[in-house]
């Protein structure tokens, strides 16, 4: 069997940063520490990323590409609105579960003291996700699939609050409590309360 392709130095740096964010949650990650972990000089590190902000930006870009790529796939596979919501939310929680270090970036915890544009970028990530939920809910309402107890905006915002809360609890537990724990039961409660006469 052919040997798996060796990750590029750029990818190694990003993986090291994500790992450091996961294993040292209270510590500020320096470029000197990252260079040591990757096994290169700081000068070599800067050849791939001109600043630490650019490294964080690359992690956010990876999150955007992964999450919204998967969301589009779900929307292509699933036509029922409530099921679409369930699967998209579970996908984001699964992404968080598999990427603890990146979860700290998305929640803004790892960005304290970093450039303000990074915080704006993660805010945009969640705003875009909420917009996607609104679209799914609006289409479900128009197709008379969903009998909703509140407005599209109110429900989308509530679902985001639940998911972001689960991610925050995951981080606060030191990544001991998976954001997916009890999710199926919680979704049943949310579904029954928000869409009382809808299938899914």
pLDDT single digits (tens) 144-175? 999 888 999 999 999 999 999 999 999 999 99
pLDDT single digits (tens) 117-148? 999 999 999 999 999 999 999 999 999 999 88
pTM recorded for the entire structure:
0.91
**Rounded CA separation 135/194 (Å):** 16
Which residues fall within 8 angstroms of residue 96, CB to CB, at 6 or more apart? 102, 103, 106, 166, 167, 170, 179
**Rounded CA separation 12/74 (Å):** 30
């Amino acid at each position: 069997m052919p040997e798996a392709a060796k990750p590029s130095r750029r990818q190694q740096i990003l993986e090291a940063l994500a790992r450091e964010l996961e294993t040292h949650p209270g510590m500020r990650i320096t470029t000197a520490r990252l260079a040591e972990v990757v096994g290169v000089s700081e000068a070599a590190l800067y050849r791939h990323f001109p600043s630490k902000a650019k490294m964080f930006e690359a992690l956010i870009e990876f999150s955007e590409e992964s999450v919204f790529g998967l969301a589009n796939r779900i929307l292509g596979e699933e036509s029922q609105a409530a099921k679409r919501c369930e699967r998209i939310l579970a996908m984001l929680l699964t992404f968080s579960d598999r990427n603890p270090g990146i979860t700290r970036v998305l929640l803004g915890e790892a960005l304290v003291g970093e450039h303000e544009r990074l915080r704006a970028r993660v805010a945009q990530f969640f705003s875009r996700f909420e917009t996607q939920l609104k679209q799914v809910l609006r289409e479900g309402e128009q197709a008379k699939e969903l009998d909703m107890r509140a407005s599209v905006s109110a429900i989308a915002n509530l679902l985001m609050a639940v998911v972001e809360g689960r991610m925050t609890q995951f981080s606060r537990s030191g990544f001991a409590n998976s954001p997916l724990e009890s999710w199926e039961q919680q979704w049943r409660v949310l579904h029954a309360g928000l869409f009382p006469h809808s299938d899914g």
